[in-house]
Amino acid sequence: MPSPQFKEIKQCYGFDEVALVPGDTTINPEQINTDFTLRDFTFAMPFLASAMDAVVDTRFAVLLSQLGGLAVLNLEGVNTRYDDADSVLAEIASIPDNEVTTFLQKIYSAPIKENLIGERISEIKRAGAICAASVTPQNTKLFAPICAEAGVDIFVVQSTVTTAQHVSKSYQGLSFSDLCQIMPAPIIVGNCVSYNAALSLMKEGISGILVGVGPGAACTTREVTGVGVPQVTATMDCAAAREYHLQETGKYVAIITDGGFRTGGDICKAFASGADAVMLGSIFAQANEAPGRGYHWGMATPHAALPRGTRIKVGTTSSLEQILFGPASVTGGTQNLIGALRTSMGMCGARSIKEMQRVEMVLAPSIKTEGKFFQAQQGR
Amino acid sequence: MPSPQFKEIKQCYGFDEVALVPGDTTINPEQINTDFTLRDFTFAMPFLASAMDAVVDTRFAVLLSQLGGLAVLNLEGVNTRYDDADSVLAEIASIPDNEVTTFLQKIYSAPIKENLIGERISEIKRAGAICAASVTPQNTKLFAPICAEAGVDIFVVQSTVTTAQHVSKSYQGLSFSDLCQIMPAPIIVGNCVSYNAALSLMKEGISGILVGVGPGAACTTREVTGVGVPQVTATMDCAAAREYHLQETGKYVAIITDGGFRTGGDICKAFASGADAVMLGSIFAQANEAPGRGYHWGMATPHAALPRGTRIKVGTTSSLEQILFGPASVTGGTQNLIGALRTSMGMCGARSIKEMQRVEMVLAPSIKTEGKFFQAQQGR
Amino acid sequence: MPSPQFKEIKQCYGFDEVALVPGDTTINPEQINTDFTLRDFTFAMPFLASAMDAVVDTRFAVLLSQLGGLAVLNLEGVNTRYDDADSVLAEIASIPDNEVTTFLQKIYSAPIKENLIGERISEIKRAGAICAASVTPQNTKLFAPICAEAGVDIFVVQSTVTTAQHVSKSYQGLSFSDLCQIMPAPIIVGNCVSYNAALSLMKEGISGILVGVGPGAACTTREVTGVGVPQVTATMDCAAAREYHLQETGKYVAIITDGGFRTGGDICKAFASGADAVMLGSIFAQANEAPGRGYHWGMATPHAALPRGTRIKVGTTSSLEQILFGPASVTGGTQNLIGALRTSMGMCGARSIKEMQRVEMVLAPSIKTEGKFFQAQQGR
Amino acid sequence: MPSPQFKEIKQCYGFDEVALVPGDTTINPEQINTDFTLRDFTFAMPFLASAMDAVVDTRFAVLLSQLGGLAVLNLEGVNTRYDDADSVLAEIASIPDNEVTTFLQKIYSAPIKENLIGERISEIKRAGAICAASVTPQNTKLFAPICAEAGVDIFVVQSTVTTAQHVSKSYQGLSFSDLCQIMPAPIIVGNCVSYNAALSLMKEGISGILVGVGPGAACTTREVTGVGVPQVTATMDCAAAREYHLQETGKYVAIITDGGFRTGGDICKAFASGADAVMLGSIFAQANEAPGRGYHWGMATPHAALPRGTRIKVGTTSSLEQILFGPASVTGGTQNLIGALRTSMGMCGARSIKEMQRVEMVLAPSIKTEGKFFQAQQGR
């Protein structure tokens, strides 16, 4: 007699475990549509830039908007704590590795200046760009009206894990359904990773959900707290919630997979897992125009008592335009992301992101070692 | 026709294979209760320190008790073989790697001085601390009365594998049910890893069970003997026995997962696997106050004929208080363990350890390689 | 209640995950027949050489034909873009690693000279060899008549992914059923990896299918686009289509597994997965006679906007004859491939490739580490 | 509709994937019986030494017999090709790595001297030891009578894969049932790895079966030919055949797992997989008394056309007696194998090898990384 089981453990998958299967029909890349729609906004590419200080400042936000994507400005980082944020960012890039955690903890202990919130939004809007900006749930009640007044186009509420209901005695937050009433802009909330959590958030009336806990390059949430769900499963579960919610209510809530991408291949797999768009951090931090100057760090890194993450060196490889549209000068899949996505969709026979979500995906455990095998033989 | 199967092989899991899923509700860390109760004792933190000479001496035991945890003193190590144990421990720390196995075999061949047993217990008690002390099953009959007389608060019987029934012609041990009669203190027994073995021990009337064979950092039991069950499955199976025993008898026996922890994340996963408390060795051996002086070794290492384990260098990273409560100056999950546990429980929506045991856990094979990926690109 | 699943994910396998089971009868190697038949052609060995510039030029094609195999000449590489292709190949081998992607992009931007197509085919035919040559689907309509006129023996249409139906507005291709009407030679098409895609191609009337997307040593399709199916599963699925098609129509279409081979063992596993023949790239690129001069690169490497692959150094290990027939001077499985195949078939009790397809295969996760274990002990 | 499956692939396991579960009762090591019985012979330890030139010569055979085990002398190696085999062995140990394959091919091309067959057997017998000796199936018809006349105690017929039926036109072998008639000694045959192959051999009337294709430290059969089944599954399948055969005929055929062992833990797992005895190569090659002088090579290494394996350096760690009985001076599980086996059996509650075969075994994927984790932290 087998012993009774304490609990069920479901198998999950990340990008490394899966691969896409070519379709029965192939399509020429130029026949393919990669549009991403969020309520009234349609973007030519389904790419968002992470609300992280190493990735998005006002200049980067304007540039990505011009190129067809959407950058999210973090309203609780250096851009709203320092008038001259750029000097602070330059200083972070110059600090040696062994001092950087302490230095970041100090930098991020400066108070947020409320006047800078509106100012940063206006900077982006004045340049003619679509402006998305993010706050944490704790500060939503306070900052949301300021953002609305400044004319934010898309409002993002984001923390490591965000749920429709939060228990606290230290602050009284705003419910997302109340937020939806007072905020004219579409609202994106995250992060979450499960069917139930996603469905609860959708019922509040929001427009998009950020999917991903623990996968990012600059994040150690999984090591520190054990919490994290691999991105393929997390995206699939939240996409299943989207389908159910659509069927029940007729409303389509966008699934935005956030974090853990290393190559164009990973991005393609996110769409095949059900994503409507992806949010990129490290990959965009490699752009010449990124404020991180070749470095990247998570927004939980500066936590005073429990830092989760570290500053990593990602380098600056090329312009943002080359990262997005090529031509690629490297062959590892980190440049010409739009070209890679179109090529992948063409091979899989997907005319649109919606069709890409239905492409066959398989578990492909084989790590690619052929190249290493033949190279290693040379070394003998 | 497939060939008949010789035996069934059950799939097991360790900390590396699993991850925790955030809850549908989140809770602020300060709303969370991490109490651990063992019969009449309640501890503010569910952490025990291993009965290993590199981790616990009388001073460490007093310190951890003051901070809210429970240290177990090994009554068959250097502390009861040598009047001046501290000098011996200093000497062990100074021996070169290639001589250490032989040196430990010599050090541990000195006889146990019975008078030191009572003395060490009294030292801890006199300082106002709760005193837990451990013996092996072979010596339980002889040492238990001495411990009881010295007023031990919690009595631990521990060997690599301990069962309710042991077959031997060389000594006649004490049955655990007899021991429960003569020992006023709550009794913890271990180690075990299976449902049946745990249930048999519970029926003897003990108060707690140590779970884990072979996972510790300083232990090579699995290499030498092939024996060992990964900690997630071992904890789940023993927790299933606890639930069955509770239902049958109304008595709650504590499950204490012992060994194999590297980070706060591993600890959080043990609770989600069903643990009531965890016993930490290597992590506490890193404290400035640990008697091992930056080294750690298993209690099977000095075995005269079949040493299983080795002395490893763990270093001294910070004070015990900082390991437990932070602030963390590192981001890898080895400091501020209580902060990490509270943060994890908050993300998972668990108000208590009991609720943490019910949190969803998944198989998450993805090794986190994003950071390495981007760093490696720099090296090219 | 478990959450609904967004999509099914099938488990796939590559060469590393499987191993062959010895048969209940064993056969002496000299009793074994390794013939490969493609319509009217029978080859003494079931090995094709890849249509890659580092592997096949006209001289290599003649040599392999004389030894009993079949080389495929790429009609869109340097051999048809340059009159003196050999000088260009020598130049590629001399370019430093960091300049090679850009250099290849330049080399392959030169136009294809139509007159060279017929000329290269004639060179091979004049030497008395069987001539196979490949074009991409885009150019099939234009180049097929030239090839037919030049007397090509076997005509190959190949791109990363080729399907029976392709959607494009930039060019109007030739349907494979039309191609089968106008081309007297047997036609091989590829690459594909799935049951449905393979079956659709078979229904067009072709004679062979190349199986494999993303596995080759010099290819990064999987990193860049996420697309790829491990070769064991891909071969099994296409072989299942072959069996179905044979049963329905009486026509046998050859399954040729293309890419990802490192050793004789991998080749043997391909046959046990259902292959009728294998196409080798890197292994043949190691021959002294290979045009790559110890280097190897994929035909997607020179892509102007999205290079997928890189030049790798494979070295020149021995003559093509020694690679095929031994004697092996190395023990890692890269020489005497025919000897290895015969030995493997003998141990598995397979008299022919057809019987080898029915040999039992198992999932064998154990990586061979014994040798490394004992060597590593020495290093301590 | 899922595509039809070409063939089933069964999951197999090796030593690395499994671990043993402690029993519900524990037993003191001195209560344990490790006897191994082969027809009329009973050995105090269930260990055989491999019929490999680096492991067994006549002196080693006598020594192991005196210690309670059984060594098998290879009658087709240097001991029967050279009068002064010892000098040849010394020479092999002195050859540089890059010349060794060629040198071994030359050494093993010398003819077998039939007179040396009887002489070597007599040397062992004269010393009062039990003598086991091995030949290949090709030479069995010729050499078996010589061995019988010389009084061999146990006769072994061994090749990489041996089956009850072999198809050949180059030689007419002896059927095993005929061999059983003419050979008075018990016969061991191998190697095999599957239920059906083992059962077929058992029906011929033999006394023991060697299990294992491809796992040994000095063997590259799996790389070269793709053939090989991991040892846990191979042993379990052959043990299932033994149980069936016993039930049908009342005859018990010994299962001897051969190859792939690195530590005492691996050996313990073989017994839990159903083995009656184990055959050790590399571990015994490490003895001071082993003829390999710190080196080890497989008997397929010198193959003239298809060498499968290589000479590896294993070093000489201690005397054979210390490897078997300790005391261990290392903690990694390569010394005191009998002590390790008794300790393991005691923890698992097994009084005999027969009981050890019924011990619970689990799939334990966790690689032990705790020690490395804490050591690595020091390196930072």
Q: What is the DSSP string of D160-228?
A: SS--SEEE-SS-----HHHHHHH--S-EEEEEE-SHHHHHHHHHTT-SEEEE-BS-STT--HHHHH-B-
Size of interface B-D (CB pairs under 8 A): 221
Confidence of residue B369 (pLDDT cuts 50, 70, 90): very low
Would the CB atoms of D333 and B296 count as touching at under 8 Å?
no
Q: Do B374 and A200 touch (CB under 8 A)?
A: no
Q: For residue range D355-368, what is the model confidence (pLDDT) as tens digits?
A: 999 999 999 875 54
Of B20, B331, B371, the CB nearest to A217: B371
Task: Search chain C and give the residue with CA nearest A27.
Answer: C167
pLDDT at A328: 82
Per-residue pLDDT at B333: 80
Select from A22, A274, A332 the Cβ nearest to the Cβ of C161: A22
Are C28 and D168 within 8 A, CB to CB? Answer: yes
Residue C172's Cβ-count burial label (10 Å; 0-12, 13-18, 19+) is exposed
- pLDDT (mean) for D94-100: 92
Which residue among B7, B227, B313 sits closest to D236, beta carbon to beta carbon? Answer: B7
Whether residue B129 contacts residue B72, with contact meaning beta carbons closer than 8 Å, is answered with no
For B3, the closest of D13, D240, D360 (CB atoms) is D240
Quick one: DSSP state of residue B208? E
Contact across the interface for A227 and B268, Cβ inside 8 Å: yes
Active site residues of A: 219
- Residue of chain C whose alpha carbon sits nearest to that of A234: C6
* Cβ-Cβ contacts under 8 Å, C30 against chain D: 169-170
ipTM: 0.93
B197 to chain D nearest CA, in Å? 5
Chain B contacts of D265, Cβ < 8 Å? 222-227
At residue A92, the pLDDT reads: 95
Which pLDDT does position C252 carry in this prediction?
98
CB contact burial A172-184 (16+ within 10 A = b; e otherwise): ebbebeebbeebe
Alpha carbon distance D127, C113 (integer Å): 82
pTM of the entire predicted model: 0.94
User: Do A218 and B348 lie within an 8 Å CB cutoff?
Assistant: no
Q: What does each of the 380 residues of chain A score in pLDDT, given as a tens digit?
A: 567 899 999 999 999 999 999 999 999 998 999 999 999 999 999 999 999 999 999 999 999 999 999 999 999 999 999 999 999 999 999 999 989 988 998 999 999 999 999 999 999 999 999 999 999 999 999 999 999 999 999 999 999 999 999 888 776 778 999 999 999 999 999 999 999 999 999 999 999 999 999 776 667 788 889 999 999 999 999 999 999 999 999 999 999 999 999 999 999 999 999 999 999 999 999 999 999 999 999 887 778 778 887 788 999 989 999 999 998 877 778 889 999 999 999 999 999 999 999 999 999 975 544 555 665 555 43
Q: Is 90 exceeded by the pLDDT of residue B304?
A: no
Residues of D in contact with C339 (CB under 8 A): 305-306
Q: What is the DSSP string of D255-268?
A: EEEES---SHHHHH
pLDDT of residue D377: 54
**Residue D221 — pLDDT band, cuts 50, 70, 90?**
confident
Contact A227 B347 (CB under 8 A): yes
- D333: nearest CB among B14, B223, B229: B223
CA trace torsion D79, D82, D86, D91 (10° rounding): -120
3-state percent breakdown (helix, strand, coil) of chain C, nearest 5: 40, 20, 40
Position with higher pLDDT, D328 vs D27: D27
> How many angstroms from the chain centroid is the CA of residue B305?
25
What subunits make at least 3 CB pairs under 8 angstroms with D? B, C
Mutation pick from D3, D5, D6, D169 vs chain C, by most beta carbons of C within 10 Å, is D6
Minimum distance, in Å, between the CA of residue D10 and any CA atom of chain B:
10
Set out the domains of chain C in order of their start, with CATH numbers: 15-379 (3.20.20.70)
pLDDT computed for residue B302 by the predictor: 78
Size of interface C-D (CB pairs under 8 A): 223
Residue B135 scores a pLDDT above 50 = yes
Q: What is the pLDDT of residue B366?
A: 56
- Subunits that touch chain C (at least 3 Cβ pairs < 8 angstroms)? A, D
Please, what sign has the CA dihedral across residues D262, D263, D266, D271? positive
Q: Which amino acid is at B189?
A: V
Q: Which of C3, C14, C227 lies nearest to residue A195, judging by beta carbons?
A: C3
What is the four-CA torsion angle of A198, A200, A203, A208, rounded to 10 degrees?
A: -30
Considering the candidates D131, D147, D192, D219, report the single residue annotated as catalytic.
D219
* Residue D320: how many other CB atoms lie within 10 Å: 21
Ramachandran angles phi, psi of D192, nearest 5°: -140, 170
State which amino acid sits at residue A27: I
Check: CB of residue B51 under 8 Å from CB of residue B80. Answer: no
Burial class of residue A119, CB neighbours in 10 A (0-12, 13-18, 19+): middle
Q: Averaged over B172-181, what is the pLDDT?
A: 88
Q: Which residue in C101, C214, C230 is closest to A331 by CB distance?
A: C101
Q: Do C326 and D315 touch (CB under 8 A)?
A: no
Question: Residues B262-269: what's their mean pLDDT?
Answer: 95
Top residue of D10, D225, D263, D269 to mutate, by most chain C CBs within 10 Å, is D225
Of residues C265, C274, C377, nearest to D222 (C-beta) = C265
Looking at residue C369, its pLDDT comes to: 46
User: Residues in chain C with pLDDT < 50?
Assistant: 368-369, 379-380
Q: Quick one: how far is CA A89 from the chain centroid?
A: 21
pLDDT at D15 > cutoff 60? yes
What is the per-residue pLDDT for B217?
A: 64
Nearest CA-CA distance, residue D296 and chain B, Å: 22
The residue among C163, C283, C296, C306 with the most chain A CBs within 10 A of its CB, best to mutate, is: C306
Whether C224 sits inside 8 A of A23 (CB atoms) is no
Which residues are paired to B43 by β-bridges? B36
Contact B28/A224, CB-based, under 8 Å? no
| Higher local confidence (pLDDT), C86 or D173 | C86
pLDDT of residue A218: 65
CB contact under 8 A, C17 and A243: no
CB-based contact A169 B28, cutoff 8 Å: yes
Calculate how close chain B gets to D369, using CA atoms only, in Å.
Answer: 8
pLDDT value at B61 more than 60: yes
Whether residue B18 has pLDDT greater than 90: yes
Q: Which residues of A250-275 are buried (b: 16+ CB within 10 A; e: fewer)?
A: eebbbbbbbbbbbbbbbbbbbbbbbb
User: Is residue D219 among the annotated active site residues?
Assistant: yes
Question: Residue C240 and residue D4: Cβ atoms within 8 Å?
Answer: yes
Using an 8 Å CB-CB cutoff, list chain B residues near A100: none
Q: What does the block give as tokens for B31?
A: 């709303």
Residue A68 is which amino acid?
Answer: G
Instruction: Spell out which residues of chain A touch residue C197, defining contact as CB-CB under 8 Å.
Output: 22-24
* CB distance C315 to A377 below 8 Å: yes
Looking at chain A, which residue has its C-alpha nearest residue C214?
A368
Phi, psi of B141 (to 5 degrees): -60, -40
C363 and D9: CB-CB below 8 Å? yes
Residue of B nearest to D199 (CA): B3
Would you call C193 and A22 a contact, using CB atoms and an 8 Å cutoff?
Answer: yes
- Who contacts B167 (Cβ-Cβ below 8 Å, separation ≥6)? D25, D26, D27, D28, D31, D349
Residues of B carrying an active site annotation: 219
| D369: pLDDT strictly greater than 50 | no
pLDDT score at C371? 53
pLDDT at C65: 98
Q: Where are the alpha helices (DSSP H) in B228-319?
A: 231-249, 264-272, 282-285
How many CA atoms within 13 Å lie on the side-chain side of A54? 31
